[in-house]
Structure 1
Amino acid sequence: MARHKPTAEGGYPRGEETRARLIDAAVRVFGEKGYDAASTREIASVAGLNAPALQYYFDNKEGVYLACVEHMIERLWEQVGPAVAEAEAVFDGTLASDAERIEALLEIFSGMLGLIQDGPESLRWREFMSRQQAGQCPPSAHALMKEGFKVRIGRVIRGLVANLTGYPPDDERTVLHGFALFAQVVAFRVQRHSLLDSLGWDGVDAERLARVRAVLLAHVRAALEGLVRARDAGV
């Protein structure tokens, strides 16, 4: 993780700007090369600094990687945090209707889908996230992502799916349904290049994202409403 020493001790200028430059450079290098092939020297060079400067802020390569993951978690919560908070209120409410539960889930998935839209840093972060999900990272990064993001969002998704199916939250069928629904959203990011190629698009702007979102949410809504019908029919 990052270290915070007085400037006089390490001889390097402190500041969030320098730290942010190192994280930005690390995301780029890790995304392009993967964790094992990346070096702290190259990361520091891309940031316009020297290797000792990186070690002053992060100690080592694992430290800077975990800082990247922490930043990624912050970005994810910016994207879906409000929707998750509202969904938690619906999940914890005893009088919520099936329609409210479905809308709460759709809001979460809608927020996650926003990650496919093009932006100034979107390509670097997509490459970094793809390698992270492929396991090209230290084990500590998986633990950090799990505790910092997956546990909370997984709890609310499984809880709402359990309400809609009638199965317990920890039932294997609940977990599989939740995973299948979430995978539909993730597929649009993981298979983004295939999506662009199939549609003849050169990128995803706000207008195109809206069209993708409308189709995806229609699919997810149909699946959720189908689960409710199956529950009511005792299937």
Structure 2
Amino acid sequence: MARHKPAAEGGYQRGEETRARIVEAAVAVFGERGYDGASTRDIASAAGVNAPAIQYYFDGKEGVYLECVEHLIALLWRKMAPSVEAAEHALADAGTDDAVLINASLGILGTVVSTIQDSPQTSAWRAFLDRHQAGLCPESATMAFEERFKARIGRVIRQLIARLAGFAVEDDRTVIHSMALFTQGLAFRLQKPKLLAALKWTEISQKEMEQVRDVVLMQARFTLEGLVRQRGLNGA
């Protein structure tokens, strides 16, 4: 992670405010221009600071990008934490029934789908993440996002699928079902322009997001209940 320095003048609080302003500006610049297309001068200009401030606070462009990733991980985890932690709690009890496990799975998926909703706060980080997930970023940032965010969610989803389907967690079928479930939510964010065009929507507000979420969760419920039924047939 990048170095953490308070400002030479103005004290610790001023240094934190400057860092936060640079990160906020960098998320927007990287989202618009990509990692390769953005320069430290661009970021400094957007943040209203001198170019050397990027080097001072973050050790250069890769450092500020990694700090953006850490910032977004924190934002996303605040959103995902309740559903993921509820699923972990359900999994901790070997006696938890299938209905609870299905609802826990749908809770995670519903939270993922909710990220398609438009708001001033999400537009910049969504563009950043779209480029990031396309691999247009330093490898160190990809590893940080995988280790600090995606791995925990992926592990929980695989455990849920394994319990519902009666497969081992490492079974290929568990992995495939888990990816199929999770990407249902991501697909609508990645294909958002096509969704808007197909439905003749100009934006995705709360109402539109809930409509998409309800359909996705209905289909996912059918799939998960089908896995439980198939487990029963295999057991018989």
TM-score normalised to structure 2 length: 0.94
* AA of the residue aligned to 1:88: E
Q: Distance in 2 between matches of 1:23 and 1:195?
A: 30
> Per-residue CA shift, 1:121-153, capped at 9, x if unaligned?
322111111111100000001110111111111
Could you tell me which residue of structure 2 aligns to residue 225 of structure 1? 225
Q: In the alignment, does 2:209 pair up with 1:206?
A: no
Could you tell me which residue of structure 1 aligns to residue 190 of structure 2? 190
Equivalent position SS for 1:151: helix
Q: Distance in 1 between matches of 2:188 and 2:98?
A: 26
Matches within 5 A, 1:142-221: 142-221=142-221
Could you tell me which residue of structure 1 aligns to residue 98 of structure 2? 98
Deviation (angstroms), 1:79: 1.2
* AA of the residue aligned to 2:92: D
Deviation (angstroms), 1:16: 2.7
Equivalent position SS for 2:35: coil
Q: Distance in 1 between matches of 2:60 and 2:157?
A: 36
* AA of the residue aligned to 1:77: W
Deviation (angstroms), 1:6: 4.8
Contact 1:83/1:104 (8 A) holds in 2: yes
* AA of the residue aligned to 1:80: M
* AA of the residue aligned to 2:168: P
Could you tell me which residue of structure 2 aligns to residue 36 of structure 1? 36
Equivalent position SS for 1:173: helix
Q: Distance in 2 between matches of 1:80 and 1:132?
A: 19
* AA of the residue aligned to 1:142: T
Deviation (angstroms), 1:61: 0.6
Could you tell me which residue of structure 1 aligns to residue 126 of structure 2? 126
TM-score normalised to structure 1 length: 0.95
Q: Distance in 2 between matches of 1:18 and 1:90?
A: 42
Could you tell me which residue of structure 1 aligns to residue 83 of structure 2? 83
Contact 1:39/1:61 (8 A) holds in 2: yes
Contact 2:114/2:210 (8 A) holds in 1: no
> Per-residue CA shift, 1:137-173, capped at 9, x if unaligned?
0000111011111111111100010001111001111
Deviation (angstroms), 1:9: 8.2
Identify if the C-alpha distance between structure 1 residues 6 and 224 changes in structure 2 by more than 3 Å, giving closer, same or farther. closer
> Per-residue CA shift, 1:33-69, capped at 9, x if unaligned?
1111111111011111111112121111111111111
Matches within 5 A, 1:47-58: 47-58=47-58
Contact 1:12/1:56 (8 A) holds in 2: no
Contact 2:165/2:230 (8 A) holds in 1: yes
Contact 1:26/1:68 (8 A) holds in 2: yes
Contact 2:6/2:13 (8 A) holds in 1: no
Identify if the C-alpha distance between structure 1 residues 193 and 17 changes in structure 2 by more than 3 Å, giving closer, same or farther. same
Contact 1:79/1:114 (8 A) holds in 2: no
Deviation (angstroms), 1:4: 2.7
Deviation (angstroms), 1:8: 3.2
* AA of the residue aligned to 1:196: L
Deviation (angstroms), 1:82: 0.7
Unaligned runs of 5+ in 1: none
Identify if the C-alpha distance between structure 1 residues 9 and 178 changes in structure 2 by more than 3 Å, giving closer, same or farther. same
**Size of the alignment, in residue pairs?**
235
Deviation (angstroms), 1:5: 3.1
